Amino acid sequence: MNPGKAISPLDGRYRAKVAHLSSYFSEYALVKKRCEVEIKYLLELNKTNLFRKLPEEKVVLARKVSEHFNEKDYSRIKEIEKEINHDVKACEYFLKEKLSLDRVENMIHFGLTSEDINNLAYTSLFKEFLENEHLPILRTLLLKLIQLAEKWKKIAMPARTHGQKASPTTAGKEIAVFISRLLRYYEKLDNFRFQAKLNGATGNFSAMEVAFPSFDWCTFSIKFIENMDFDVNLATTQIEDHDAWADYFNIAAQINNIILDMNRDIWLYISHELFLQRSRSADVGSSTMPHKINPINFENSEGNIMLANCLLRFMADMLCTSRMQRDLSDSTVERNIGVAFSHTYLALDQTLQGLQKLKINQEKCKQDLKNSPELLAEPVQSILRSADVNKPYEMVKLMTRGKKIGKDFIEELISRLNLKKRYVKKLRSLSVDEYTGKATKICEEIIAKAKEKIR
């Protein structure tokens, strides 16, 4: 299909950036993974000796089908599904047909409900996406932020509270704030454990137990799930409750929120010309204003995050509920999980591109600080407090609030007050561009911690 004719921009405009995610979120990927799970179950069941053993050549063939699933196999499954109108059963019938097992075919899908296969298939795909795509791009983004923070850790700039200039900080420390926030949730994802179930139609192993009552189906199920590197959810209805999915979605959404906050701050720093963007000669910033370099990457990321988070929060709520044992309202929603994570991936990629272009306008930072001696009002009143001056805050407020002042207001204060020499010396040594407290030290500590966690 011509990408320009796609309904979704994920399959159209942004296809080149997210096409590889079809390995985790496409219908093809889901069907392939269902067959892998069915075959894994078949081969484990074959080891129990509950059924007539598979001939060795059939074991080899089953592994081959799992490892070399292809477009032709997918098309055949979709043909069967069209005929019987059941997606998971179509996979079962395909495997029976493909493996030509005769009566031994009874092992395929024995005692299972569709949700046993689906929860394992979907969860496997989410785990692969997390490990192969989500964590790596977050790691790359964090490493870029660390690089910027390290480079800018001593560069003083005016902070802003309520949009107004406030006590100075350093550019590196402002970046370190977001590193610190992201790192907490990166660690949560890095240690995240999905859970799964394999226990039949209403979660009680009933079909398995009635056929082979002396076999330990609980232990079999636990071992099977743990071998897939999932935690076991033993007590379920027909469906796995998806609480772990919701945890993943919510963590992903919170990471997105932090990046959204950072995007907006960077956008504002660019608008105040404290940050600049490197230009590419071929790029056009405006169709009519040739001089412009718009912060489009941060804006694009913002839109993708807001869209992704609408879906992630909705899915985290919706997929944890089901009428009684099971209803199918979750089925179509599950097929759109990839939409949420594709927009998440796009957002992270766009932020990363924006950061690659970002540079600091050191001269502008210096000039803004030089032109803002009123920012010394805080340290002045703090020194006066330590000198036991009566109502120093109110005194400085009268001299500075809402006024454009020069540094000479400090000399005026000194002339009014009978201060000891050490306090006079402190006041006269104040400099706006050096009033950054422990910003550099905080930045360095966050950088060191981040490097330790993601090396």
Name the residues annotated as catalytic. Answer: 162, 286
Q: Is 285 helix (H, G, I), strand (E, B) or coil?
A: coil
N-terminal to C-terminal alpha carbon distance within the chain: 42
Q: Give the CA distances from residue 34 to residues 27, 85, 169, 360, 431, in Å, rounded to whole numbers and listed in that order.
A: 11, 16, 54, 50, 66
Which residues touch 90 (CB under 8 Å, ≥6 apart)?
77, 78, 80, 81, 84
**Other CB atoms within 10 A of residue 402 CB:** 6
Residues 156, 140, 271, 252: is their CA dihedral positive or negative? negative
Type of residue at 282: A
**Other CB atoms within 10 A of residue 216 CB:** 12
Contact by Cβ (8 Å): 150, 172:
yes
Identify the DSSP state of 103: G
Residues 253, 257, 262, 268: is their CA dihedral positive or negative? positive
Q: At what angle do helices 56-67 and 87-99 cross, to 10 degrees?
A: 130
Contact by Cβ (8 Å): 342, 349:
no
Q: How far is the C-alpha of 296 from the C-alpha of 299, rounded, in Å?
A: 5
Contact by Cβ (8 Å): 179, 443:
no
